[in-house]
Amino acid sequence: MTCASFHKITAGLLAATLTGAASGTVWADVPILDLKLADYKAISGVSGSLKSIGSDSLNNLMTLWAEGFKAAYPNVKIEIEGKGSSTAPPALVAGTAQFGPMSRPMKGKEVDDFEKKFGYKPIPIRSAVDALAVFVHKDNPIKCLTLQQVDAIFSKTRKGGSDKDVTTWGQLGLAGEWANRPISLYGRNSASGTYGYFKEVALFNGDYKDSVKEQPGSSTVVQGVATDKGAIGYSGIGYKTADVRAVPLAAKAVTQCFDATADDAYAGDYPLARFLYIYVNINPNQPLDPLRAEFTRFVYSKQGQQAVLKDGYFPITAAIAEEDLKSMRLK
């Protein structure tokens, strides 16, 4: 994620904060809804079927959006398949899906393959903000990890610069019963955008250790960590449960650790903050059909972003919604 992207979030967040303050809302370290987001109002003439293929991280959120949208349009059918971000681009190219949720931006080759087929690029919807969390068991006392330590824990190549492989909690400064406790690793499989994003940012484009227990979904990563006292794993913050704890992270050893919270994600201080995207095939020479247009408007509405809050992620701002809707000629 680029710094420029986060400057946009921060600017929008300031507007939301001022709006909330004006209406008596107290800003705390929790995500709040930007009151400038539009209320969604149903229109006539919307019907048909939609299919979404892509990110597991967005599976629950796509379901919540689908439920809210179908409440407004009972005759619309929506099918959701979440097996990993890498399944979205080929589904959009083949035309087997109208929406391609992804927890990472499309890679250059994925964009090229799409453009080769259609003659234009796919359009990304910035649908939510996530703090990709590094989870440990709730009883684990570790207070902070640098990305270099995370790399030494998860990667066999240690491109972050650590000179030692980290395999026990004692190597990270824990004492007593934790000193000799082996670290058990949980992660996603290679079809996952979360797998790719974590590899790029937390592992400095290095290679995962062979000992990482690859899981088919984000919820199973969290379940594994919850039932294994020596475990560590990574997943979107929306999958957090009472049995795990998100470890504060620092980009470098000399910098402060930041929590996987709304404040630190919006400010760009939390080093594993990212947008969650939905990619759409929009022909620049044709208007978007009413079904996809209205679903997109719903995602960007107060009701759509309320679903983001419900799922444990952080909502986008009205400024981002306005910018993206304009790019799709929906504003």
The model's pLDDT over 213-242, given as tens digits with 9 standing for 90+, comes to 999 999 999 999 999 999 999 999 999 999
- Asked if residue 10 has pLDDT above 50, the reply is no
The predicted pLDDT at position 30 comes to 63
Rounded to an integer, what distance in angstroms lies between the CA atom of residue 326 and that of residue 194? 28
Say what angle helices 59-72 and 302-310 make with each other, to 10 degrees: 140
Instruction: Say if residue 290's pLDDT is above 60.
Output: yes
φ, ψ for residue 182 (rounded to 5)?
-65, 150
Q: Which residue has the tokens 């207070």?
A: 143
- Give the separation between CA 182 and CA 170, rounded to whole angstroms: 9
Q: What's the whole-model pTM score?
A: 0.84
Q: Rounded CA gap, 84 and 31, in Å? A: 26
What share of the chain has pLDDT > 70, as a percent? 91
Rounded to an integer, the average pLDDT of 9-23 is: 37
Looking at 3.30.70.2190, 3.40.50.2300, 3.40.190.10, 3.30.750.24, the CATH number of the domain 3-129+276-327 comes to 3.40.190.10
Instruction: Answer for the pair 105, 304: CB distance below 8 angstroms, yes or no.
Output: no
- Enter the tokens of residue 19: 């709006």
With a cut of 80, say whether residue 60 has pLDDT above it: yes
SS3 262: helix
> Is residue 112 scored above 70 in pLDDT?
yes
- Cα angle value 133/136/137 (rounded, 5°): 140
Confidence of residue 91 (pLDDT cuts 50, 70, 90): very high
Percent helix, percent strand, percent coil in the chain, to nearest 5: 40, 20, 40
Q: Among 126, 149, 104, 129, which residue's Cα sits nearest to residue 260?
A: 129
Taking all residues of the chain, what is their mean pLDDT, rounded to a whole number?
91
Question: Burial, 152: exposed, middle or buried (Cβ in 10 Å; 0-12, 13-18, 19+)?
Answer: buried
pLDDT for residue 20 is more than 70: no
Whether residue 151 contacts residue 158, with contact meaning beta carbons closer than 8 Å, is answered with yes
pLDDT at 28 > cutoff 80: no
Which helix (H) or strand (E) segment is 321 a member of? helix 318-327
Average of per-residue pLDDT across 18-39: 60
Mean pLDDT of 188-198: 94
Is 60 exceeded by the pLDDT of residue 93?
Answer: yes
CATH T-level fold of 131-273: D-Maltodextrin-Binding Protein; domain 2 (3.40.190)
E strands, the chain, are 49-54, 77-82, 99-102, 123-137, 145-146, 184-188, 213-215, 231-236, 244-246, 249-250, 273-280
Q: Report pLDDT for 29.
A: 55
pLDDT at 21 over 70: no
What local confidence, expressed as pLDDT, does residue 289 receive? 96
Give the number of other CB atoms < 10 A from CB of residue 103: 29
Considering 27-41, 203-217, 263-277, the range whose residues carry the highest mean pLDDT is: 203-217
Bridge partners of residue 80, in order along the sequence:
52
Backbone angles phi, psi at 54, to 5 degrees: 165, -130
> Is the pLDDT score of 276 beyond 90?
yes
The pLDDT, as a whole number, for residue 19 is 36
Find out whether 134 and 271 touch, Cβ atoms under 8 Å. Answer: no
Q: Where in the chain is the domain with CATH 3.40.190.10?
A: 3-129+276-327, 131-273
Lowest mean pLDDT among 17-26, 127-136, 160-169, 313-322: 17-26
Q: Is residue 191 within 8 Å of 84, Cβ to Cβ?
A: yes
On the question of pLDDT at 5 being above 70, the answer is no
Query: Is residue 263's pLDDT more than 90?
Result: no
What pLDDT score was predicted for residue 175?
97
User: What confidence score (pLDDT) does residue 209 get?
Assistant: 98
pLDDT at residue 151 above 60? yes
pLDDT at residue 22 greater than cutoff 50: no
Cα–Cα separations (whole angstroms), residue 15 to 145, 220, 318: 32, 37, 9
Which one is predicted more confidently, 45 or 25?
45
Which residue intervals of 23-107 are DSSP H helices?
59-72, 88-94
Give me the mean pLDDT over the 52-57 stretch. 95
- d(Cα 87, Cα 193) in Å, to the nearest integer? 10
CA 77 from centre of chain: 25
